[in-house]
Amino acid sequence: MLDSILFASLPALFSLTLFMSAGLLFLVELMIAKMILPLFGGTPAVWNTCMMFFQAILLAGYGYAHISGTKAELNRQIIIHLAILLAACIVLPIAIPRQWAPSAEGSPIGYILPLLLISVGLPFFGISATAPLLQKWFARTGHPSAGDPYFLYSASNLGSMLALIGYPTLIEPNFRLVAQGRAWAIGYIVVLALTAFCAGVTRKYLPVCVSEDKGNEKSEARACGANDSRLTYKERGWWVLLAFVPSSMMLGVTTFLSTDVAAIPLFWVIPLSLYLLSFIIVFARVPARVHRIMVLLLPISIAALVFANFSDIGIPKWVIFIFHLVNFLFYCMVCHGEVARTRPATKHLTEFYLWISIGGVLGGIFNSLIAPVIFNTVLEYPLILVLGAMLLPVRNRNGLRPLTNWRNILLYLGVPLVFVLLTYWSTAKWHAGSINLSWLSDPMNVKPETLYLTIAYGFLVLFCYGLVFLKKPFLFGIGIASVLLTVVVSKDLKQNVVHRERSFFGVLTVTKDVNSRFMNLSHGTTVHGMQWLNPINRLEPVAYYHLKGPAGQVFSEFKGRKKKSRIAVTGLGTGSLAAYAGPGQEIDFYEIDQTVKKISTNPAYFSFLSECKANWKVILGDARLTMEKAPPHSYGIIILDAFSSDAIPVHLLTKEAVNLYFSKLRKDGVLLIHISNKYVNLAPVLAKLADESGLAGRLCDDEEDDEIGKYGTTWVLLARKETDFGGLSRSNAWKKIESRETVNVWTDDFSNILSVFKW
């Protein structure tokens, strides 16, 4: 009786083991990424590098599983795999040594990869190999479902997705990193025990069959079944390509989200969860029409995304985010649906997963290593959009044929030419002609500009979508590529780009504004500083640092006899704050990106530093790590300027970080923090830190004044006592900072970004 129950429950047992192992696999990705952020700063490139590493180890695990599953007999497979899982216990619980701080020079990739390899490489390798091996073992049992074990892949990906969703919503807000590491170690032991149990029942329920080698099971790990045909290179190449596109696109979407919002696990989780969701659906034996519907919807999604992202008609940012995510999901559904549709017999199961993993690794390598070197802007995302558009929407309608027909040749040459000319005319020339559309826009209660852009881009994407019905391979992708190329180039020309450069930390662009009043420095989509082009007021700080803004008020208060002799600034930008320093003062800029230093110290772009009257220097490296080397109680003012609008380096706002800053401040020193942010309200975090450390705190929320080049900004001022603020403590502009009970103190092993998110 018990034996029959156990036999019937084999799918549940294997599904549970795969579910838990996959959950651990993806929990550790987020956990380890959060652990290393204090060493490498909060940037999307850190996560992309982590993803590349995990994909590479996953490939190694799948490669080992393939070799073991096809070359070793079952007993040897079990012994070797359990030995690997046991050996990985020596690094538990997982932790990151502080002495692994990166050098200030060069790319941090050379530090991140060996750090990950030593700290988490072995357990990740062991668990990653567990999934294909368990499926292979289940296929060797005599259970009726053993003939098609691919449904177990859905259970595995379900565990991964739930782990990803649960981390930022449940685990991160409630458990410190030390507790997370210990809990993960316990979970690892449970998975090891379940894997051993699965191995035991596999041996128990091996079917009775005669293999080709006269029943000698030890010669090869061969499952009972028909002798399936060999895989072709075309099949393998197609699986690699289908895995490459969504893998690369996932990193591209992640970079887009985390650059515009924050480099936090929440925004790394969303694309990866959608990526896994597509695997869950396509391997869950859904009807074939679901895949056909996805193929039909993908071109519509691509056209809608191009319209939403480039039309500039004032679509809210969160709506554009949804367009990107929905389009990404459709790409994954089509690519992974095609992978599932063409999956081989169980004889080739481990090799099948191996080729999928190779495609995933190539996507990670392309985005993390190759693209930052060969592109000076983030081109990999639109390139993959185009590649997917070329390969997928029409593939199943007409096979790929040589271009021997002269009509086809003219068609493939004429489409890009027509779309380039049409795009340029409709987005630039038509508008330049000042066509009056008020007769149509007024009754509709919309601006003429909005109506014009809607018509121009609407017709373009409709024409592109119409190419699908010509049923010619690549034609739709060629049309999309032509539109994107023309739009991007024309927008660049309008921006008046002076210089553009890409580093590990993002894309930096120097531009002149449309009225040639300012030279701007942007990191991604965020302006990080400006300078007047007019020689008369060239050295007057503007934007976030205007004379009439909070920063100007602080420096106005501490001048003359109250002047602070030494100043520290985290975040260099254009060096605008150097304009406030004069003779007899020293100002140290702590900057993590050496490309920012190269741009800000070039007087052809910005001259705040080259014309600064005080002694100044730029210290490269993570601000918190490098500031530890500064003499104690040496600074009169420390300014944190690393939280504006995009990536949020949380490790600069923890209790330990604030203690470090005040250990470097003089007894009457002040800590000035720029917290202007579109998506996160950091004031409650600082209020809680002030309460915890017994500090006085003030907040100034300033309004924008475009006429004088002043941005609306929010600044917080912390000091040991109220009298250290001087006259600012009596200013109506500087109000006492209010605490919030729902926000806990952030530390190096605990932070909760969701508690301060601007919903």
Q: What is the pLDDT of residues 130-162, one digit of tens each?
A: 988 998 898 888 788 877 788 888 888 888 888
pLDDT at 612 > cutoff 80: yes
**CB proximity list for 36: less than 8 A, separation 6 or greater:** 46, 50, 96, 112, 115, 116
Q: Which of 106-115, 261-270, 382-391, 684-693 has the highest mean pLDDT?
A: 684-693
Beta bridge partners of 637: 567, 670
Residue 438, Cβ neighbours under 10 Å: how many? 10
What confidence score (pLDDT) does residue 413 get? Answer: 81
115-129, 250-264, 367-381: range with highest mean pLDDT: 115-129
Q: How far apart are CA 498 and CA 516, in angstroms?
A: 12
pLDDT value at 323 more than 60: yes
- Alpha-carbon distance 102 to 266, whole Å? 25
Q: At what angle do helices 233-260 and 44-71 cross, to 10 degrees?
A: 160
Q: 338 and 271 in one domain? A: yes
pLDDT reported for residue 70 = 84
Examine residue 401 and state whether it is found in any structural domain, yes or no: no
- Per the DSSP assignment, residues forming a β-bridge with 635 are 665
Highest mean pLDDT pick, 247-256, 513-522, 528-537: 528-537
Global pTM value = 0.75
59 and 163 fall within a common domain: yes
Domain membership flag for residue 218: no
Question: Radius of gyration of the chain from Cα atoms?
Answer: 29
pLDDT of residue 244: 94
- State how far the Cα of 144 lies from the Cα of 123, in Å rounded to an integer: 32
Name the pLDDT band for 609 (thresholds 50, 70, 90): very high
Q: What is the pLDDT of residues 172-201, one digit of tens each?
A: 888 888 899 999 999 999 999 999 999 998
Closest residue by Cα to residue 145 from 130, 155, 158, 159: 155
Report the first-to-last Cα separation within the chain, whole angstroms.
55
Q: How far apart are CA 187 and CA 23, in angstroms?
A: 10
Rounded Cα–Cα distance for residues 167 and 432 (Å):
51
Is residue 292 assigned to a domain? yes
CATH number of the domain that 8 lies in?
A: 1.20.1250.20
pLDDT tens digit string along 272-298? 888 888 888 888 777 778 888 898 899
> CA 44 to CA 50: how far, in whole Å?
10
Q: Which residue would you say has higher pLDDT here, 204 or 603?
A: 603
Asked whether the CA dihedral 439, 443, 447, 453 is positive or negative, the reply is negative
Rounded-to-integer distance, Cα 217 and Cα 208, Å:
11
331: CB partners within 8 A, 6+ apart? 245, 246, 249, 298, 388, 392
The Cα 702–Cα 682 span in angstroms is 16
Examine residue 328 and state whether it is found in any structural domain, yes or no: yes
State the DSSP H helix or E strand holding residue 338, giving kind and residue range, or none if neither: helix 317-341
Cα distance between residue 266 and residue 253, in whole Å: 13
CA distance 428 to 490: 8
Cα within 13 Å of Cα(142), Cβ side:
10
531 inside domain:
no
Matching residue, tokens 């969303």: 270
Residue 173 preceded by cis peptide, ω within 30: no
**Residue closest to 594 by CA, chosen among 618, 567, 612, 610:** 618
Q: Residue 182 phi/psi, 5° resolution? A: -70, -45
Together in a domain, 81 and 161 = yes
Give pLDDT, residue 429.
Answer: 60
Residues 6 or more apart whose CB falls under 8 angstroms from that of 734 comprise: 550, 553, 698, 699, 700, 717, 725, 728
Structure confidence at residue 41 as a pLDDT band (50, 70, 90) = low
Domain check: are 341 and 450 in the same one?
Answer: no
Work out whether the CA dihedral 617, 618, 623, 625 comes out positive or negative: negative
| pLDDT exceeds 80 at position 51 | no
Structural domains of the chain, count:
3
pLDDT at 687 over 80: yes
Q: Within this chain, do residues 566 and 490 fall inside the same structural domain, yes or no?
A: no
Chosen domain end from 368, 391, 414: 391
pLDDT band at 411; cut points 50, 70, 90 = confident
Tell me: do 350 and 446 sit in the same domain. Answer: no
Dump pLDDT digits (tens) for 487-512: 877 777 667 888 988 887 778 899 98
CA dist., res. 2 & res. 557, Å (int): 82
Are 357 and 417 within one domain? no
In a domain, 213, yes or no: no
- Of 442, 470, 495, the last residue of a domain is 495
Contact 345, 360 (CB under 8 A): no
> Are 687 and 608 found together in one domain?
yes
Residues 17, 80 share a domain: yes
The pLDDT value given to residue 161: 84
Q: Domain of residue 146: give its range.
A: 2-208+232-391
Whole-number pLDDT of residue 602: 94
pLDDT over 80 (residue 240): yes
Residue-wise pLDDT for 522-554, tens only, equals 887 678 889 999 888 888 999 999 999 999 999
More confident residue, 55 or 238: 238
Better-scored residue on pLDDT, 291 or 255: 291
Distances (CA, A) of 121 to 128, 161, 357, 517, 702: 10, 21, 17, 52, 48
Q: Looking at the domain assignment, is residue 396 inside a domain?
A: no
Q: What's the confidence (pLDDT) of residue 207? A: 66
Residues 94-120 have a mean pLDDT of: 72
Tokens representing 416 are: 């890009």
What rounded mean pLDDT belongs to the chain? 82
Print the SS3 string covering 205-240.
Answer: CCCCCCCCCCCCHHHCCCCCCCCCCCCCHHHHHHHH
CATH number for the domain spanning 542: value is 3.40.50.150
Q: Are residues 412 and 554 in the same domain?
A: no
Q: Which of 339, 361, 391 is the last residue of a domain?
A: 391
Answer yes or no: is 221 within a domain: no
Burial class of 405 by CB neighbour count within 10 A (0 to 12, 13 to 18, 19+): exposed
Which pLDDT score is estimated for 223?
A: 42
- Of the pLDDT bands very low, low, confident and very high (cuts 50, 70, 90), residue 649 is confident
- For residues 531 and 546, the answer to whether their CB atoms sit within 8 Å is no
84 shares its domain with 18 = yes
User: What's the confidence (pLDDT) of residue 218?
Assistant: 39
pLDDT band at 398 (very low <50, low <70, confident <90, very high): very low
Question: Comparing 759 with 95, which gets the higher pLDDT?
Answer: 95
Tell me, what's the pLDDT at 268? 67
Give the mean pLDDT of 739-745: 80
- Give the DSSP H/E element, type plus range, for residue 245: helix 233-260
Encode 90-118: b = buried (16+ Cβ within 10 Å), e = exposed.
eebebebeeeebbeeeebbbebbbebbee
How would residue 436 be classed by pLDDT, with cut points 50, 70 and 90?
low
Burial environment of residue 345 by CB neighbours within 10 A (0 to 12, 13 to 18, 19 or more): middle
Whole-number Cα distances in Å, 99 to 23, 39, 91, 96, 113: 29, 9, 17, 9, 15
* 66-94 pLDDT per residue, tens: 898 888 888 899 999 999 999 999 989 88
How confident is the model at residue 225, as a pLDDT? Answer: 45
Can you state the angle between helices 177-204 and 109-139, rounded to 10 degrees? Answer: 30
Residues 185 and 253 in one domain: yes
Percent of the chain with pLDDT over 90: 29
Across the range 427-449, mean pLDDT stands at 60
φ, ψ (nearest 5 deg) of residue 205:
-110, 30
Mean pLDDT across 105-112: 68
| CA angle, 422 then 427 then 433, to 5° | 100
Q: Which residue has the higher pLDDT, 452 or 336?
A: 336
- Residue 20's nearest CA partner among 225, 250, 194 is 194
- pLDDT at residue 440, as a whole number: 60
Residue 47: the pLDDT is 65
- Given a cut of 90, whether residue 9 has pLDDT beyond it is no
- Under 8 Å between Cβ of 556 and 582: no
Question: Which residues, including other chains, have CB under 8 Å from residue 522's CB and lie 6 or more apart?
Answer: 508, 509, 510, 511, 528
